[in-house]
Structure 1
């Protein structure tokens, strides 16, 4: 019997669940189990251990990055050390939501899901990475620059439309400050907006990403009934992490990936091949390993010979050498692409990444691409580690998506009793994940579901062998 699709759907929820279960068989057990069970297993990771020098070094640099970010977020030396030790003891990160205000439903309920898993495993830190190489408006009235309050879309920073559509929130072209203005330009036009505005920092920030990061720390500390500490990593933290790799002449990224052997080129070539086959569209070559950051916008770069060049009208170019790339990263002239982010944040150090509807597929494919590079460079000990990783990427974003969810009410923002987290914990996964609209409304998921149903793509497909599923 064929499921009836709703308006805007490209495939049904049943199609999505079958596809997810086919590629990630462990999910089959959890669909009818309480959400707390899935949250617990998603955050249950073995202590870091590796025989690979390259992986140990990558984890050492990541821990240094975590400590640096913790200090920048206002934590003291001992707290920063504690965060890095937890990452070693339980290497898992939430990487699903983009750089959104904590109170935005798309982010908020993912944070609650993570709290369920962290509480179940007695963790003290919630470490996240949020992508900030995105525009203010990702869809109509949606994205980091928008927040719906009392049924009204509000402009978070009061920006003109041209800036909302074309500027990246990581661009340091401020000042930015919170406004929550309506279509008429009136700031904080309703009670919810006025209350929220009074809670958030009134400072001016050089970038919207910095403003959101500071706001989230304030909201987390003041409104989340949890002793767990929040640590947010952003694209500049990762830029410095990549630069740390490249500053070390003995690291894999410096000596092999960029330094010689055409490893980066082999990965980019494999990316092109991936995009003409069954997995077309999942890992797109929108830029080559890094973005140019220019006047508040991100500009694609292309690797041409030994140089990364921006497209015209930009005249930017940087030599594809470890020292030059590291310098450009530290100067904020470039930022890592999504592939490069996951390479240093998860794939090389062996950290589980929790993500959303597209990440569940593109992340394992990124691991497959990395394996091609490791074979090219002869790093078979690290390649062996990748092959042995246990579920290195899991579905962990929009796993909790209540149809009637209202974050303000859930945390008792206006003084009412907060909604007990246990209510969500008891929901079976099949119910907590709601209508799966991010899957069913995505044509690429409809195509994947069809290819799985027809046996073209299976859990045994070559490109899926590094998924650890």
Structure 2
């Protein structure tokens, strides 16, 4: 999980599977009918028509998002015809998979989510699987889990052959390479080593300036070798989003330029409302870890705090960026800043009106981010954008780890079935409840036990002001 998604300290035990399902269904009543239906029905609905508001700010944000998508498609080797199609798709079917972080495609935590997305895309005849993969994460997020590790045959393989101290310290978006695929398994584990050797043989045999670039390049190869040509992969990460934010800020007439500066109250209203949010029943979901951006230096990300018109790394830090559009844009282009989650979702979803598919934390924090933005807009009297947001329906949905076999090995399944879509077809006939497995990402996260308790105590209810922007 990203720094902003790490569990806060809560005084509750872990939730049971039944408690999680009840809480999730309570917060998202539309889920009720899907638990007992085949997975394909939920996949179809998630990728169905997006109901969203309209307005000048939204139109402008969508045009800028289209340009970002086009740049990423061209870098991935797409043809002019495909570039035109992906630009059209994001405008007409604005849906982005935002659940898996920047992992190799065959990591189980990512693979089965992409399989779920492929079901929905195929059902609607959509060509492009558009995936935002968070890269402001470290190589290791918990014990032998994270982009620096790959689960093969039930064992952890060191993707880049890095020592623990580097995995703990650096972010995968840092341009502090070179990074090469090593796929180092444990000595004596012949079965895992054989799988690692097979995989390494098809991965790019060259050095990359960042781990994120290495993973994105490898994923294009893995996608083409496993998924049907009728569905293409478009993967963007936080540096792509950094350029998108800079695009907004470099235009003095853009909505974002008018809001992200020291003279406008929008940013301070966001932070004040976030403090209020973290003082009540919704505490811990949207955490004030860093204000709008992360600092990035020598491959490491670090939190920034906005005070008196300056983003600073702290009292003893020499890292400072003025909170003015031209200074923020320059720092983003120079890779001194990267957007935090709130800024990322503001610019890729809330403003352009895209549906985002997320996991156990995003199902709650994304609607709360919309609440933060809406509250700040009310303080500012930005009624047009508020009206646009009010017309949105279900822009945030559960779409990551929806399909998560308790024991699943992508490479072995591909070897057994040959076609990824044959694997998808087998899962598609099983119920959503069955496909979701033990929902360990929910049950092992203490914040869901806390949420269940708040729902029982009616401290959280569907009439809560914070939950009106789902």
Q: Shared fold (TM-score greater than 0.5)?
A: yes
Aligned residue in 1 for 2:305: 302
Inter-CA distance 185–284: structure 2 relative to 1 (3 Å threshold): farther
Aligned residue in 2 for 1:84: 87
> Residues of 2 paired with 1:404 and 1:189: CA distance?
16
**Aligned ranges for residues 429-448 of structure 1 at < 5 Å?**
429-448=432-451
Q: Secondary structure at the match of 2:455?
A: helix
Q: Secondary structure at the match of 2:62?
A: helix
Contact 2:306 2:312 in 1 (8 A): yes
Q: Deviations over 1:142-183 (max 9, x none)?
A: 110011223331110000110011110000000000001135
Aligned residue in 1 for 2:273: 270
Inter-CA distance 118–416: structure 2 relative to 1 (3 Å threshold): closer
Q: Deviations over 1:53-87 (max 9, x none)?
A: 11111111001110111111111222112101001
The one of 441, 450, 454 aligned to 2:453: 450
- Per the normalisation by structure 1, the TM-score is 0.94
Q: Does 1:340 align with 2:343?
A: yes
Aligned residue in 1 for 2:394: 391
Inter-CA distance 27–186: structure 2 relative to 1 (3 Å threshold): closer
> Residues of 2 paired with 1:47 and 1:433: CA distance?
26
Aligned residue in 2 for 1:12: 16
Contact 2:296 2:336 in 1 (8 A): yes
Which of 348-357 and 69-78 deviates more?
Answer: 69-78
The one of 403, 426, 430 aligned to 1:427: 430
Aligned residue in 2 for 1:196: 199
* Residue-pair matches, total: 459
Q: Does 1:156 align with 2:159?
A: yes
Contact 2:227 2:420 in 1 (8 A): no
The one of 25, 30, 44 aligned to 2:29: 25
Contact 1:399 1:432 in 2 (8 A): yes
> Residues of 2 paired with 1:82 and 1:413: CA distance?
33
> Residues of 2 paired with 1:417 and 1:337: CA distance?
34
Contact 2:52 2:391 in 1 (8 A): no
Aligned residue in 2 for 1:362: 365
Runs of 4+ in 1 over 4 A off after TM superposition: 183-189, 413-419
Contact 1:98 1:132 in 2 (8 A): yes
Which of 404-413 and 438-447 deviates more?
Answer: 404-413
Q: Give RMSD over aligned pairs.
A: 2.0
- Identify unmatched segments of 5+ residues in structure 1: 1-7
> Residues of 2 paired with 1:199 and 1:231: CA distance?
19
By relative contact order (CA 8 Å, sep 6+), the higher-ranking structure is: 2
The one of 40, 47, 64 aligned to 2:44: 40
Q: Does 1:104 align with 2:107?
A: yes
Inter-CA distance 28–183: structure 2 relative to 1 (3 Å threshold): same
Which of 321-330 and 304-313 deviates more?
Answer: 304-313
Q: Secondary structure at the match of 1:141?
A: coil
> Residues of 1 paired with 2:200 and 2:207: CA distance?
13
Q: Does 1:127 align with 2:140?
A: no
> Residues of 2 paired with 1:342 and 1:263: CA distance?
16
Q: Does 1:73 align with 2:76?
A: yes
Q: Secondary structure at the match of 1:232?
A: strand
Q: Secondary structure at the match of 2:77?
A: coil
> Residues of 2 paired with 1:108 and 1:170: CA distance?
21
Aligned residue in 2 for 1:291: 294
Inter-CA distance 138–413: structure 2 relative to 1 (3 Å threshold): farther
> Residues of 2 paired with 1:199 and 1:38: CA distance?
34
- Per the normalisation by structure 2, the TM-score is 0.94
Inter-CA distance 87–123: structure 2 relative to 1 (3 Å threshold): same
